[in-house]
Amino acid sequence: MSERNSSIDGIERRGVLAALATGIGGAGVAQRTLARRVDALDATRYVVEQGDRCIPITPLSGDETVESFYDYRTPYTSPSGAAYSSYGTTDLQRPETSICFLYDGPEGLSLVVVHDKLNDGTSGGAVTFDLAFENPDRGSWVVGDDDYDAPSNYDTFDRTADGWSVDWTWTDGRSDGGAYRPLGEEFAVTIDPAFNDAAALYGDPYEGEITDWQVLSGDRSDPDRVSLALDEPLVVRAGTCGATTTTTTRRETTTEETTTEQDDRQSGPISADVTVVPGKVNPRSHGRLPVVVRSTDEFDATALAPGSVAFGPEDGTERASPVKRIQTDADGDGRTDLKFHFRTDATGIDWDTDRVRLTGVTESGRAVEGSAEVRIVPNGDEESERKRDEESEGDGSSEREAEKEEGEGDEHAKKGETEAEDEGNEAEAEKEDGDESEEDDGGDDEGERGGEDGRGSGRGKENGRGRGKTGKGNGKGRERGRGDGRGGDEDD
């Protein structure tokens, strides 16, 4: 491979070829041949622009489609691969590096993006690209890595009004990316990047780092590599450096506070359909949390006034403003929805949060509210979280069953209690009697309630019924026999 010297970025290939033609000695045939080659090269020239830099690039090319070239494999593809990654670009991949390039194949020109290196032991990462196309309806993601419907997939490919917003995240030793085709002969695409903790899915659940962003050019087996700034947008377009062209601009994004005149105060708030993507949140994340507000027959989400939107726990007071606002058809129903990105650590979501609320105001001044469920996932430990949920559900079932038995005045011992447990409870109860003897005045009410309800609040010895010192319990008490319903003077 070779690293391109930035000092030659602006050299025009026409000048080089013209000099070669002059050196040939003015042979007419040679000059005409070279002229045709110059025209052909000019017609297929492409550049990458970032800031004040302009970098001429040549597409990597091959006889296979970009799908075959990328070779995205999962356990369900043929050939299969367990890593959900690109197996065809491993020779181009670099650890902790994001690469982008043009690929010229039998079905046209494609834009290819690959993040990180497969099987290199890197610690994963997260990237968000907002792509604005001069002709947004011309192409599509023919390779989406990863673009499948399953709870284990965090990546999102969202269509916007002028292109796409893509959120990637990947685990240790894997790569991520995709291929977009066709670009066409005349095109311009602006990529607004967000790497690492600026990415929407950073920390949810992976926190690896991308340290370099490169554009590749030239030979497939040994391309030139030019490093790019990680925090600046770039434009990939057909044309030459210095040539004028129509370029795309990004959609407005805002976090500024604005006020909206309340022209519709008499109307109640609009109930909005709100979804947290992908529904799982790591409160420790320093990344961005995507939240979608869907349009319906009754409500146009795009009517939400910029600067009016706030988001946070449903039962909390802390609210975050969005750092990005994207128009997209999130559910494919033909309506334009809104997708907001919030800083996770600014939302106030914590380990006890189970529901979140989004509020806003329409351009006409009407209030908008919507809430959604969220699942808290600590740093990707989904399996442990699932097991804890199952255990919690089991505990809840036991408690409900116990309450049911109590409510029906069940005279029998609970299932699963052994004689050994009864004896242990009895011993502990006797100890607690001694410890709590000075609190009998405070426990009279419990004895009275035991008589009224027909239940003691404690278990008698050998599963017998207990009588309280003050009030009598005709039913069986619960658990260890605390309080006066335990029966200090018990009959077996």
pLDDT digits (tens, 9 = 90+) for 141-171: 999 998 877 777 889 999 998 999 999 999 9
According to the model, what pLDDT value does residue 97 have? Answer: 97
Indicate whether 157 and 289 sit together in one domain.
Answer: no
Over residues 341-355, the mean pLDDT reads: 91
d(CA 354, CA 346): 17
In a domain, 492, yes or no: no
What DSSP line would sit under 321-370, residue for residue?
--SEEEEE-TTSSSS-EEEEEEEGGGTT--TT--EEEEEEEBTTS-EEEE
Q: Is residue 289 pLDDT above 70, yes or no?
A: yes
Residue 95 vs residues 72, 191, 225, 479: alpha-carbon distances, Å: 18, 21, 14, 59
In a domain, 159, yes or no: yes
The region of weakest confidence among 78-92, 308-322, 379-393 is 379-393
Indicate whether 371 and 332 sit together in one domain.
Answer: yes
In a domain, 246, yes or no: no
Q: Which of 34, 58, 61 is nearest to 45 (CA)?
A: 58
Residue 271 vs residues 267, 296, 338, 365: alpha-carbon distances, Å: 12, 11, 15, 14
According to the model, what pLDDT value does residue 434 have? Answer: 40
According to the model, what pLDDT value does residue 379 have? Answer: 57
d(CA 463, CA 412): 9
Is 48 within 8 Å of 101 (Cβ atoms)? no
Is 178 within 8 Å of 147 (Cβ atoms)? yes
Residue 324's pLDDT band (boundaries 50, 70, 90)?
confident
How many CB atoms within 10 Å of residue 169?
28
Indicate whether 355 and 289 sit together in one domain.
Answer: yes
Indicate whether 48 and 35 sit together in one domain.
Answer: no
According to the model, what pLDDT value does residue 355 have? Answer: 94
d(CA 397, CA 376): 22
Instruction: Pull the structure tokens for residue 125.
Output: 């990462």
Beta-strand runs (E) in 229-354: 234-238, 270-271, 273-276, 280-281, 288-294, 310-313, 324-328, 337-343
Residue 267's pLDDT band (boundaries 50, 70, 90)?
low
In a domain, 466, yes or no: yes
Is 128 within 8 Å of 201 (Cβ atoms)? yes
Per the structure, how many domains does the chain have? Answer: 5
Query: How many Cα atoms occupy the beta-carbon half-sphere of 216 within 13 Å?
Result: 26
d(CA 319, CA 311): 5
**CATH number of the domain enclosing 340:** 2.60.40.10
Residue of higher predicted confidence among 391 and 207: 207
Q: Is residue 283 pLDDT above 60, yes or no?
A: yes
In a domain, 61, yes or no: yes
- Domain limits for position 31: 2-39
Indicate whether 387 and 369 sit together in one domain.
Answer: no
The region of weakest confidence among 48-52, 71-75, 106-110, 145-149 is 145-149
The sign of the CA dihedral 34, 40, 44, 45 is positive
Q: Which amino acid, residue 385?
A: E
In a domain, 263, yes or no: no
According to the model, what pLDDT value does residue 27 have? Answer: 42
What pLDDT, in 10s, does the model give residues 111-123? 999 999 999 888 8
The region of weakest confidence among 161-175, 207-221, 312-326, 423-437 is 423-437
Indicate whether 51 and 197 sit together in one domain.
Answer: yes
